[in-house]
Structure 1
Amino acid sequence: MDFYLKDGGIRTHFPYGELDISGNENYGYRPFQLMVASVAGCSGSVFRKILEKKRIKIDDFKISAEVKRKPDEANRIESIDLHYVVKGVHLDREKLEKSLEIARNNCSMIRTIEKSVKINESLEVIQLSN
């Protein structure tokens, strides 16, 4: 990856498009936002693949992320709370929890930062009617 100086920040190019990064939201994504998005995106993608492999059908899921930072330590990320809301018909909470645990163990982003950032996960299951 190559990164280039631009007004107010840094830019990089990917096959999918350009990414602008800056400490100022007026010029691009803030680095902490990208870190949290990487963790949630990786975890969610791995979780989805596991559900597909286990043939667990869901209608939808959403991940919400809450971030705690330490202002006195360069505003580093102290913890990320990921809350998964899974919707579907006849969902087995225990199977979903096991799948989420497997996803955590196979998410490269969580595994990379788990010794320096506390990652908490919670699961909400919404049963839809037929």
Structure 2
Amino acid sequence: MATIVKWQGSGMAFDATASTGHTVRMDAAPEIGGENTGPRPMEMVLMGLGGCTGIDVVMMLQKLKQDIKDVQIEIESERSEDIPKVYTKIHVHFKVFGTDLNEKKVQRAVDLSAEKYCSVSKMLEKTAQMSHDFEIIEV
């Protein structure tokens, strides 16, 4: 797997292109020379966490024949005051929308993602206190 990150020639904007060919723009805040044209790199880390754990949970719930309609992941975080400003606390909250969802199956999917399958979560737990919970919303 390879990624190419290229400065866009002015300000602090960088385009990152993944080995799959998909590109995303990252930028910095205006107060440090950015133009706010994309998420900050540390925001991308949390987005990656949400995508990774979301894929796990959706796949497991589908395999468990749960009638899910939507899954939303809300992530709250805290960072160190000292440089490097790594994440020190991350809380992942799942909102699982569906019909007649089995609470134990949802709990198992969320737990397995956090504790075993989500590679991003496993990397982040090296510096951050990780926690997670969920709520089921009947639709």
1:50 partner SS: helix
Matches within 5 A, 1:1-130: 1-6=3-8, 7=10, 8-14=12-18, 15=20, 17-24=22-29, 26-104=36-114, 105-128=116-139
Query: What do you get for the CA RMSD once the two structures are aligned?
Result: 1.8
Residue identity (%): 22
Per-residue Cα deviation, 1:65-110 (whole angstroms, up to 9, x for no partner): 1111122343321121111111222111111101111122111111
The answer to whether the 8 A contact 1:80-1:118 is kept is yes
Q: Distance in 1 between matches of 2:16 and 2:68?
A: 35
Q: Distance in 2 between matches of 1:31 and 1:121?
A: 23
State the TM-score, normalized to the length of structure 1. 0.86
Q: Structure 1 residues 12 and 73, CA, compared in 2 at 3 Å: closer, same or farther?
A: closer
Counterpart of 1:21, as a letter, is M
The answer to whether the 8 A contact 2:72-2:94 is kept is yes
Displacement after TM superposition at 1:16 (Å): 5.3
In structure 1, the gaps of 5 or more residues are none
Counterpart of 2:125, as a letter, is E
State the TM-score, normalized to the length of structure 2. 0.81
The answer to whether the 8 A contact 1:47-1:99 is kept is yes
In structure 2, the gaps of 5 or more residues are 30-34
Q: Distance in 2 between matches of 1:54 and 1:37?
A: 25
